[in-house]
């Protein structure tokens, strides 16, 4: 065991993070009521989104808003593919004839949905990957707006701005938890991978990285597509959890929530993504309970709507001011030895063994 962990320290990080996550899921499964089950299932779906954002934003250093649009693509694509034809005839009356009879099993629908989002992302994003700094952020925002516009107006497939209903429920607690665990393993591996290392080098210094042979556009592109696939899978799971939704769900509110989770946890490490998701979920539910309490008891003599979002925004501002690298400050959680940024070199290990 020690041998394996020594060679691939990311496994140590993954196992360290899995312990509390499995405990949360198991405890919710055993003791949680319907409300807790919903909260934790949603938390794991959000965790997939945050991990995907970490893969791109954390490693490239470029903020992106676009991935929530791809969450929408994954949600609609998988929903249309998995919905039984008779239901489709009712909810999507203008659906193209080709798509009408398709009735895929859940996991296949998720896979195809993720594939569609991945292909769209791969085609659209390549020319954008040259951009850095503000230009990159603005274009990712523009991409989000464009995707939202398409979802709102492509009523043949999405039922337009209206709610799409009739999606079957397939996603339960362990479904979302299991996918989140797989996403965690992949994100931790990717960070140490060939492309991940090159991407992180380009994040720290663009000129130096390219002078070392890093094809920056390519490595950014790979990570961007991976992020969109993460988002699409999360969207597909969410669609089959919430069972009715509209394009507005894949927009600014969700963007802000997922971004807040990553920024508060610390975007540079996978541990930051996981910890941020848990912390913000706790805070969010705490604030919401507070808002409910204040409203039912008329503490301020009036209703206080939006307190939850307001406090969450305050928390994000606070983190950015007092701990700009997030709660985890770019470190990975690891059991057993002092944290080091990456893999130890055999040369030093031999020396230490002497």
Partner 1 sequence: MTERSARDWLVVQDVTKDFKGLRALDAVRVGLERGEILGLIGPNGSGKTTLINVITGVLPPTSGGITACGRDITGLPSFKIARAGIARTFQTVRLFRDLTVGENIEVAALSVGKSRRAARRAAEEAIDELGIAHWTDEFASVLPYGDERRVEVARALAMTPDFLLLDEPAAGLNEQESEDLLRILAPIPTRRNLGMLIVDHDMHLIMRLCDRLHVLNYGRTIGAGEPAEVRRIPAVIEAYLGSAAEEGRDAPA
CA atoms within 13 Å, Cβ hemisphere of 253: 8
Instruction: Rule CB under 8 A: say whether 307 interacts with partner 1.
Output: no
CB distance 243 to 162 below 8 Å: no
* 212: contact with partner 1 by CB under 8 A: yes
Residue 345 lies near partner 1 (rule: CB under 8 A): yes
By the 8 A CB rule, do 95 and 265 touch? no
Dihedral sign, Cα of residue 320, residue 323, residue 325, residue 327: negative
If one asks whether residue 213 binds partner 1 (CB under 8 A), the answer comes out as yes
Quickly tell me which residue has 């969410």 as its tokens.
Answer: 238
Cβ of residue 121: shortest distance to partner 1, in angstroms? Answer: 23
Between residue 321 and residue 340, which ones bind partner 1 under the rule CB under 8 A?
330, 340
Q: Which is nearer to partner 1, 8 or 252 (CB)?
A: 8
Segment contacting partner 1 by CB under 8 A, of 63-71, 182-190, 194-202, 273-281: 194-202
Rank residues 192 and 291 by Cβ distance to partner 1 and give the closer one: 192
Residue among 7, 162, 169, 343 that touches partner 1 (CB under 8 A) = 343
Is residue 114 within 8 Å of 233, Cβ to Cβ? yes
Nearer to partner 1, 197 or 290 (CB): 197
Residue 57 or 216 having the CB closest to partner 1: 216
DSSP H helices in the chain: 2-7, 9-31, 34-53, 59-60, 67-82, 85-91, 106-125, 133-153, 155-158, 173-192, 194-204, 206-211, 216-242, 252-265, 270-296, 307-322, 346-353
Question: Which span (47-55, 63-71, 214-222, 288-296) binds partner 1, by CB under 8 A?
Answer: 214-222
Residues touching partner 1: how many (CB under 8 A)? 30
Strand, coil or helix: what is 245?
strand
Distance between CA atoms of residues 108 and 103, nearest Å:
10
Site for partner 1 in 241-300 (CB under 8 A): 268
Give contact residues for partner 1 (rule: CB under 8 A): 194, 197-198, 200-201, 203-205, 207-216, 268, 330, 340-348, 351
């Amino acid at each position: 065991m020690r041998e394996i962990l020594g060679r691939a320290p990311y496994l140590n990080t993954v196992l360290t993070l899995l312990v509390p996550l499995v405990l949360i899921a198991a405890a919710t499964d055993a003791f949680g009521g319907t409300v807790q089950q919903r909260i934790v299932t949603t938390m794991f779906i959000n965790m997939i989104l945050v991990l995907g954002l970490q893969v791109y934003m954390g490693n490239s250093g470029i903020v992106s808003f676009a991935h929530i649009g791809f969450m929408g693509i994954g949600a609609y694509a998988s929903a249309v593919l998995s919905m039984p034809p008779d239901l489709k005839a009712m909810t999507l009356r203008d659906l193209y004839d080709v798509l009408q009879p398709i009735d895929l099993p859940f996991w296949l629908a998720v896979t195809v949905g993720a594939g569609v989002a991945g292909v769209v992302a791969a085609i659209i994003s390549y020319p954008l990957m040259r951009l850095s700094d503000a230009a990159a952020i603005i274009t990712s925002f523009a991409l989000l707006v464009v995707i939202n516009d398409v979802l709102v107006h492509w009523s043949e497939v999405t039922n337009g701005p209206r709610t799409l209903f009739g999606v079957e429920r397939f996603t339960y607690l362990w479904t979302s938890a299991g996918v989140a665990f797989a996403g965690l393993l992949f994100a931790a591996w990717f960070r140490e991978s060939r492309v991940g290392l090159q991407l992180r080098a380009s994040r720290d210094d663009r000129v130096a990285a390219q002078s070392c042979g890093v094809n920056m556009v390519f490595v950014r592109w790979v990570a961007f597509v991976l992020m969109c696939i993460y988002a699409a899978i999360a969207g597909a799971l969410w669609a089959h959890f919430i069972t009715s939704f509209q394009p507005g769900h894949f927009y600014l509110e969700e963007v802000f929530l997922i971004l807040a989770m990553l920024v508060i946890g610390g975007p540079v490490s996978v541990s930051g993504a996981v910890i941020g998701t848990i912390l913000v979920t706790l805070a969010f539910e705490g604030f919401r309970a507070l808002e409910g309490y204040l409203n039912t008891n008329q503490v301020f003599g009036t209703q206080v709507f939006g307190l939850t979002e307001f406090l969450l925004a305050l928390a994000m501002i606070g983190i950015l001011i007092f701990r700009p690298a997030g709660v985890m400050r770019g470190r990975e959680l690891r059991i057993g030895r002092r944290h080091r940024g990456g893999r130890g070199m055999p040369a030093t290990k031999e020396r230490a063994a002497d």
